Chain A
Amino acid sequence: MSVASDSPVHSSSSSDDLAAFLDAELDSASDASSGPSEEEEEAEDDEESGLKRRKLEHLETVDEEEIEEASSSKGECQHPGSFGNMCFVCGQKLEETGVSFRYIHKEMRLNEDEISRLRDSDSRFLQRQRKLYLVLDLDHTLLNSTVLRDLKPEEEYLKSHTHSLQDVSRGSLFMLEFMQMMTKLRPFVHSFLKEASEMFVMYIYTMGDRAYARQMAKLLDPKGEYFGDRVISRDDGTVRHQKSLDVVLGQESAVLILDDTENAWPNHKDNLIVIERYHFFASSCRQFDHKYKSLSELKSDESEPDGALATVLKVLKQAHALFFENVDEDISNRDVRSMLKQVRKEVLKGCKVVFSRVFPTKAKPEDHPLWKMAEELGATCATEVDASVTHVVAMDVGTEKARWAVREKKYVVHRGWIDAANYLWKKQPEENFSLEQLKKQQTSMALDTYASSNPNEVHEDVLLKARDACYKARDAFYACLEKESGKKPTEIATVGLLYPKECSSSRTQFVNNCRSSWVKHFDREYCRNKRVQRLLDDGDERKGPMSLPQPYTFKPSPST
């Protein structure tokens, strides 16, 4: 207080200035509510030592000079983006504009011009490094996760086979107890990432939430050398339930996407490489209505050297090599999407395909997805047979074209042959896809790959014979339920239906013979009928006690 007492005039004026300055500064900067005793605190501030006041005065003058300088010398700022709603070039407060880049920082936003500028400068830089972009999905593509409580009893053995979280670079099966999850990395994923990182700048883009995405990134990339901060989760996307490249800072013509779900990328199908889904856990099979046993139940796994990831890696290498072929030329106009198409065209090159009873007669065959797929894979499609035809795709041996093919010693295959080539990026041996094989395989493992992607496949369990068996088992079970209605129902079926122990054998029969969705449907139907019957019953006493609404009485809450 020595300064104040020495020169009271100066002190009073400067403290006024200070108060005004503080007010202006604080009001402009904060919209948060202030404490209850602000006046007092300000008074306290004013009574602080003179030294501090001088500093503040100094600060104040500097501040004003800065503002003048900025406004006079730089002219109009374009506001390329904002950080915490402040333009990061001029510091001005801005409205919320532009695209949010939450995965970099939650307060980061960039406008369109800045994004395209960044993309431009980046692509030039990457061309020098001979790199492209690769956007990777997590679930079913690079790994498979399950919630611990969804583990089947047959999978319990996995718990003792998990690898340590200390050294994730070597293991592939991890228990994340704090998230209540178990995660299995797809075989070959470590080598895949290592090799791909030399050709691509990689992003993770997942529909999981951020915590999950970060955790998985840590498992795949413990040192952070592959992905860095380029981990995009559901929370960071701009459109709900969709993935989009607008938050990826790369030219669309230089981005490849690897995902198991085509529908997630409605606007970027040309950049997309669809990979066969990786189902390791039984819960994941259930989720996608797979009827077959999961890899974990079979205690097997995908093969390392020629699993799906290895196949895709080869494709990526080809596309990359094509893109950077003849680097001396100007490559700024090159488009990786056309490279990808070119690679695809090699798959069934030289094949001439005729379809027989695959398409509905009324529709134009050219519009059918299978026709398009075959053409994308480089095959020539035709509607009529002639000498140049190499393959006949049929679903039945009896068709005219199929018989012609057998006579002319041409290949007769079912549509799985094209699907397999589509997924595996390679022409498959025709012997594995002959029509006799089709019949044999329908119940075996080999086909489950295509069943999920292929709603046109014949499902034997809904055909007449299977259906009859199912109905018989169903009727037996419900008859048993009626017969044993006096017994105490202890077992639980679907939709809350209870049944006594005596009926459990017929229940097993029922469940084994019918699709799970059917079982559920029948159970629901049964319960509904029962309920209607009960409601129609005249015996009032069976409806249970009735509760009348109690008259409302006011009670003051105990807290105040």
Chain B
Amino acid sequence: MFFHIVLERNMQLHPRFFGRNLRENLVSKLMKDVEGTCSGRHGFVVAITGIESIGKGLIRDGTGFVTFPVKYQCVVFRPFKGEILEAVVTLVNKMGFFAEAGPVQIFVSKHLIPDDMEFQAGDMPNYTTSDGSVKIQKECEVRLKIIGTRVDATEIFCVGTIKDDFLGVINDPAAA
């Protein structure tokens, strides 16, 4: 699920950036530092949408670096248990398949794939129904439900299921 929230961060800036572009430098450094990272509490920071305020800088003793407290608005992404997500399949093996929804890696075990889908080995491993109408393979898009999440400092892991109504393949670029 996506959230639009305000976060705060203390930015350390080298004195060489002081000048008329101080603010721009601060913002671009903030984007570089924050976007694409994952914090355990808020999930994955997708994009910074605006700056609320930049506080007074504080010169650090000894180094000359200045610390600015910056409040910024950003869009974060964090999966929750029970959430329905759409994800792209990245790897299929006999234990199940791995899918990615943006930065989130989701594993769907064989136990949570409908029983009528069977694993087919080969150079393009896949799960296929007995009549061959539905096929899960690499690159195809699935809708799945999260049954467990773990958010690390830098990564988010989820386990999911497609053994429920309205879950499963929604688009297969290979078949099209």
Contact = CB atoms under 8 A, between A and B. Distances in A.
Interface of A: 25-26, 29-38, 40-41, 44-45, 48, 52, 55, 59, 62-63, 66-67, 70, 80-81, 83-93, 101, 104-105, 107-108, 110, 118, 121-122, 125-126, 129, 201, 223-225, 228-229, 249, 558-560
Q: Which 5 A-B pairs have the closest CB atoms?
A: A32-B40, A91-B148, A84-B157, A91-B147, A30-B40
Contacts of A66: 81-82, 147
A52 B75 CA distance: 13
Contacts of B88: none
Interface residues of B, number: 47
A48 B151 CA distance: 23
Contacts of A228: 93, 123, 125
Nearest to B147: A91
A89 B8 contact: no
Contacts of A35: 7-9, 39, 41
Contacts of A45: 3, 5
Contacts of A33: 40, 153
Given A59-B82, A86-B150, A92-B148, A229 B93 contact: yes
A32 B41 contact: yes
B95 A110 contact: yes
Interface stretch (B18-26, B105-113, B128-136): B105-113
Contacts of B95: 81, 101, 104, 108, 110, 118
Given A34-B40, A44-B6, A86 B121 contact: no
Interface in B1-56: 1, 3-10, 39-42
B41 A30 contact: yes
Contacts, number: 139
A327 B112 CA distance: 34
B80 interface: yes
Contacts of A224: 123
Contacts of B5: 41, 44-45, 48
B41 A34 contact: yes
A110 B96 CA distance: 12
B168 to A, nearest CB: 17
Q: Which of A41, A129, A201 has the most CB of B within 10 A?
A: A41
Given A41-B7, A84-B107, A118-B95, 12 more contacts: A26-B41, A33-B153, A36-B10, A38-B41, A41-B8, A44-B5, A70-B147, A81-B95, A83-B107, A85-B150, A88-B159, A91-B147
B111 A32 contact: no
A223 B123 CA distance: 9
A25 to B, nearest CB: 7
Contact of A107 (B7, B39, B121, B157): B157
Contacts of B3: 45, 48, 52
Given A25-B80, A88-B112, A224-B123, A32 B157 contact: no
A29 B149 contact: yes
Contacts of A558: 62
Contacts of A34: 39-41
Given A37-B8, A59-B80, A125-B121, A88 B107 contact: yes
Contacts of A26: 41
A289 B153 CA distance: 48
B159 A86 contact: yes
Contacts of A118: 94-95
B152 to A, nearest CB: 6
A84 B150 CA distance: 7
A555 B7 CA distance: 40
A63 B91 contact: no
B61 interface: yes
